[in-house]
Amino acid sequence: MKLLLALLCSTVAAASTTNVNNSGFENISERTKLPVGWGYTSLPGQSDLVQYKVTTVPGDESSKALAITVSSNHPDQRVAYNAFQDVPGIESGKTYKVSARVQTRGLETMPMVAVQCIDQTGKKYLGFARTPERKLQQDIKEWQSVETMVTVPAGTAKFRLRAGIPAQGNAGGTAILDDITVTEVESK
pLDDT digits (tens, 9 = 90+) for 61-93: 789 999 999 999 999 888 999 999 999 999 999
The DSSP output letter for 109 is B
Tell me what pLDDT residue 13 has: 43
In this structure, the number of other CB atoms found within 10 A of the CB of residue 71 comes to 16
Under DSSP, is residue 73 helix (H, G, I), strand (E, B) or coil? coil
Tell me what pLDDT residue 14 has: 45
Phi and psi (nearest 5°) for 98? Answer: -115, 130
Q: Which residues make Cβ contacts (< 8 Å) with residue 87, sequence separation at least 6?
A: 18, 19, 20, 21, 159, 160, 161, 182
Below-70 pLDDT ranges, the chain: 1-17, 58, 187-188
Q: Mean pLDDT of all residues in the chain?
A: 89
Q: Where are the beta strands (DSSP E) in the chain?
A: 13-17, 39-40, 50-57, 60-70, 80-86, 95-105, 112-118, 125-130, 144-151, 158-166, 174-187
Residue-wise pLDDT for 160-176, tens only, equals 999 999 999 999 999 99
CA atoms within 13 A on the CB side of 144: 14
C-beta separation of 68 from 103 below 8 A? no
The residues facing 144 across adjacent strands are 102
C-beta separation of 166 from 108 below 8 A? no
CA–CA distance, 95 with 12 (Å, rounded to integer): 15
CA–CA distance, 153 with 175 (Å, rounded to integer): 30
**Residue ranges of domains in the chain:** 18-185
Tell me what pLDDT residue 49 has: 96
Q: Burial level of 16, CB count in 10 A (0-12/13-18/19+)?
A: exposed
CATH of domain 18-185: 2.60.120.260
> pTM here?
0.88
